Every structure is written in C-alpha cells, then in structure tokens.
C-alpha cells in the first residue's frame, strides 16, 4: 500500500433523470455500492430537494461515499473515498453506473495520504479497527433520509424512515406516501407535501366547518379534489348534510390514502358520498344551475391538473352551480409564499361574486410553505361567514373532538394582518 486511501472523483452523465431525483433509490444504491465494495456502513444521510436534486453521504468505517445530483441535466457528481486495502472503490463505481443508468462518465483517482510523506505513530491501528468491528452490526445502521419541499428561496425538510410506502405516477402527477418521524405518514404529490397525519386536521377542519356552521342549512355539497379524503370526513360530520359529491381527477391519490392514511380517508364508504374519478373542472361546467349549497375546491398548487382551478371561467361555473345562498370555499395558497396567486385569486373571485362577498381566512399549518395558509370564500347570498354562534360551534367541536376549529378560531381566522389587507386593497 503506497497511500492511506483511494479517492475517486466521478461525474456520471446521461443518467436517468427520474432516478437522480429519487432520494430513496439513490440512498439504497449508495449503501449497496458501499457494501458491495466490502465497506462497513456506519450511517447514511440523504436529502431530496423539491423539485429537483438529491444530496447525501454514506459514512463507512473506511471513510465515505458522497453524491449530489442535477436531474434536469442527467448529471451526478460522486465522491468515492476509501481507506486501506480491504475496500475497492471501483466496485462501487461500477455498481452506481448501472443504478443511475449512466451513458457516459469521467473518473479521476487520487491517492490520499502518500505514505512516503507521512510518519507512522507507534500504535497498532489494525488491531484497533478489528476490535471496533466487534461492536458493529453490519446489518444495522442509522438512516437519516430527508424529504425537502423547496423553492429557490426557502425549504421545509422532514426526516423519514427512508422507505417509500406508495409510489405511482399517473398521467397527471406522481403520488407517494412516506413515513416521517415528526409528522407521521405523509402524502406527497410531485415532491410537495400535501397531507401529514399530525397536522392535516388544521387544513380539513378549516376548509369545511366555518362555511357549514355559519350557513346553518348546508344540505348538498360538491368537493373538487380532496383525494386524501380529509375534507369529506369533516363535511360528513354534519348531520344536516344530505349528499356529498366528490370529484377527484387522480385515482392514485384515493388509493394511496385508503391504504396508508386510514384516519384521513375513513369516509370514502359513507352512504351519503358519491365519489367520481374525473375532471372536476368539466364536472362543474356541466352541473345544473343552483344545485349545491356548498362547493369546496380542495386542489393543490396552481400547477399541473390543478392549474385550471385558478381561472375565472371555473369560478363562474361554480357561481352558477351554487344555490342562491350558496358558499364557495377554495384553497388559496399562502400570502407569504405565493403572494401572486393569492392576490390574483382574490381579484378573480371578487369579479365573480362581488367585492363585499369575498372573504379571506388564514390558518396555521406547519408543513405548508411559510406555515400560514389561506382559504377564500365567495358568498352568493347574505350569509355572514365571518361569524358563528358560540354554542353551536363549541358543541359541535366538543362532540366531534376537533383538533383545531372552535368559535374563537372561526372569528379570528378572518382577522387579517395589515400586510394581507394591503395586498388585497382592504386597508
């Protein structure tokens, strides 16, 4: 041995972009590349950066394997650093080339710690290493895998087990279920957090109860989107509701939620529910006039299949489908995170319903960008959605053991900060 270690700097090119954007596949591949080379894995730490890119390192007793990917270029930069004679980094290289489906590469090997430049201390490192191996179980190691929902200015990271419980891609989007340590089972769509067990009640209680309890006579409800089932669960708590029609475009979201989010999706078999897998935009366009007391638009961000849910034409169709005292509730983004969509949607609704008939509701949800999210409500009749009878709200909340909603939260949610009022020209 002429050096303490071997360091291979690798550039994998022409790789499969989907693989380079899959933190689970990459973490598994890097760990296996280490073990195939004869290394002893100590731990692994990997992050996925939404929408593109993975960074990570596998710490081995003989040094480390590290990676960063640029899926949009089909490119991965990899460091393979091993010490001693027992581990061959080129075995790791060969394995990773296959995993990433690389069509081209460049690789440079460097010797680290040239022995002719170093003086050895007088203790037996080999015996120390052999003794250390007795206390290491090569079958177990600490996995530290992170899912990151990120834009160019901010990010939210959730540590999860490294296992992907559900992973299917439809013609519309990619649906995954992961198991996070802090927030439990988590639904992601196109690498964005949609729903977690720990805080989903914030969203689903606030998208439904303020409108229903302030109205007092909601009987027929239409839900557009909401494939996780949380919104219909909350709507169907109300005994006054006679029928709920739900239109979800992607059956995979429903399937994933039924399989891995049973507490959220438990109402899919409710006798009052009519479930339609189809295009909600088209459904509303073809709906009979004045056929719903409440329309809830539980869509994702204004991209992909949800993009049409942020158009004036769509909300005009919703207006026509509402009864004379009907209410529309729509997911409206964050005034801090997506201020442009937030303001444009408010203006669009005011054109359709009238300036005084549109109200903005804010609430807290930790796993959405900025932690502050909103719904906007369009009122067709004379209902004051900003107020509720205390006894009615408190009795309902206590009877159903609600986590977030109560009478004070109802009223407070409509009390807007000054910066939001300025954005909406209400100050």
Ligand-binding annotation for 14, yes or no, is no
Catalytic residue among 149, 199, 293, 298: 298
To the question of whether residue 270 is assigned a binding role by annotation, the answer is no
Catalytic residue among 68, 270, 364, 400: 68
- Cα–Cα distances in Å, from 388 out to 160, 325, 326, 396, 404? 40, 16, 16, 12, 15
CA Rg, the chain, in Å? Answer: 27
- Return the axis-axis angle of helices 339-353 and 312-321, rounded to nearest 10°: 40
The reply, when asked if residue 339 is annotated as ligand binding, is no
63 catalytic? Reply is yes
Angle of helix 390-399 versus helix 200-215 axis, rounded to 10: 140
Active site residue 83: yes
Catalytic residue among 22, 55, 83, 149: 83
User: Which residue among the candidates 44, 63, 257, 300 is catalytic per the annotation?
Assistant: 63
Q: Is 173 annotated as a binding residue?
A: yes
- For residues 34, 40, 41, 42, the Cα torsion angle rounded to the nearest 10 degrees is -150
Task: Note if 364 is an active site residue.
Answer: no
How many CB atoms are closer than 10 A to CB 184?
A: 15
Answer yes or no: is 228 a known binding residue: yes
Instruction: Report how far residue 192's alpha carbon sits from residue 200's, in angstroms, rounded to the nearest whole number.
Output: 14
Q: Is 248 annotated in some ligand binding site?
A: yes
Any binding-site annotation on 204? yes
Q: What is the 3-state secondary structure (H, E, C) of the chain?
A: CCEEEEEEEEEEECCCHHHHCCHHHHHHHHHHHHHHCCCCEEEEEEEEECCCCEEEEEEECCEEEEEEEEHHHCEEEEEEEEECCCCCHHHHHHHHHHHCCCCEEEEEEEEEEEHHHCCCCCCCHHHHHHHHHCCCCCCCCEEEEEEEEECCCCEEEEEEEEEEEEEEECCCCEEEEEEECCCEEEEEECCEEEEECCCHHHHHHHHHHHHHHHHCCCCEEEEEECCCCHHHHHHCCCCCCCEEEEEECCHHHHHHHHHHCHHHHCCCCCCCEEEEECCHHHHHHCCCCCCEEEEEEECCCCCHHHHHHHCHHHHHHHHHHEEEEEEEEEECCCCCCCHHHHHHHHHHHHHHHCHHHEEEEEEECCCCCCCEEEEEEEECCCCCCCCCCHHHHHHHHHHCCCCCCCHHHHHHHCCCCHHHHHHCCCC
Catalytically annotated residues: 63, 68, 83, 298
- Residue numbers in the known binding site for S-methyl-5'-thioadenosine are 173, 248, 279-280, 305
- Residue numbers in the known binding site for spermidine are 204, 228
- Residue numbers in the known binding site are 173, 204, 228, 248, 279-280, 305
């Amino acid at each position: 041995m002429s050096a303490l270690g071997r360091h291979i700097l690798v550039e994998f090119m022409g790789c499969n972009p989907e693989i380079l954007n899959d933190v689970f596949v990459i973490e598994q591949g890097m760990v296996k590349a280490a073990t195939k080379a004869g290394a002893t894995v100590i731990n692994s730490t990997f992050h996925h950066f939404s929408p593109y890119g993975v960074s990570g390192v596998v710490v081995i007793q003989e040094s480390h394997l590290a990676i960063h990917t640029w899926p949009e270029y089909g490119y991965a930069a990899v460091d393979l650093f091993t010490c001693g004679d027992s581990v061959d980094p080129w075995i790791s290289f060969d394995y990773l080339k296959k995993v990433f489906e690389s069509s081209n590469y460049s690789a440079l090997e460097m010797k680290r710690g040239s022995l002719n430049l170093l003086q050895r201390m007088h203790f037996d490192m080999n015996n120390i290493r052999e003794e250390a191996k007795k206390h290491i179980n090569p079958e177990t190691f600490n996995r530290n895998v992170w899912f990151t929902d990120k834009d160019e200015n901010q990010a939210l990271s959730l540590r999860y087990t490294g296992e992907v419980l559900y992973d299917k891609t439809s013609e519309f989007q990619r649906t995954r279920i992961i198991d996070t340590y802090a927030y439990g089972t988590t639904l992601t769509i196109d690498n964005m957090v949609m729903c977690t067990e720990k805080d989903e009640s914030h969203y689903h209680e606030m998208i439904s109860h303020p409108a229903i309890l302030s109205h007092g006579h909601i009987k027929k409800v239409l839900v557009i989107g909401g494939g996780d089932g949380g919104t219909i669960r909350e709507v169907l708590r109300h005994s006054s509701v006679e029928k709920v029609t739900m239109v979800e475009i992607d059956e995979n979201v429903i399937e994933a939620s039924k399989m891995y989010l049973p507490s959220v999706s438990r109402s899919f078999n409710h006798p009052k529910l009519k479930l339609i897998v189809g295009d909600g935009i088209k459904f509303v366009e073809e709906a009979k006039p004045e056929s719903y007391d409440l329309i809830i638009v539980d869509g994702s961000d204004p991209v992909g299949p949800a993009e049409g849910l942020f158009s004036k034409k769509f909300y005009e169709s919703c207006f026509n489908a509402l009864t004379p005292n009907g209410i529309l509730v729509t997911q409206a983004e964050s005034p801090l995170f997506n201020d442009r969509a937030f303001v444009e949607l408010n203006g669009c609704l005011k054109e359709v319903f009238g300036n005084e008939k549109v109200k903005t509701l804010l609430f807290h949800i930790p796993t959405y960008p900025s932690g502050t999210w909103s719904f906007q409500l369009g009122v067709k009749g004379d209902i004051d959605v900003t107020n509720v009878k205390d006894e009615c709200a408190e009795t309902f909340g206590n009877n159903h053991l609600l986590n977030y909603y109560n009478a004070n939260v109802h009223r407070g949610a409509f009390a807007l900060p000054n910066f939001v009022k300025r954005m909406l020209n209400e100050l």
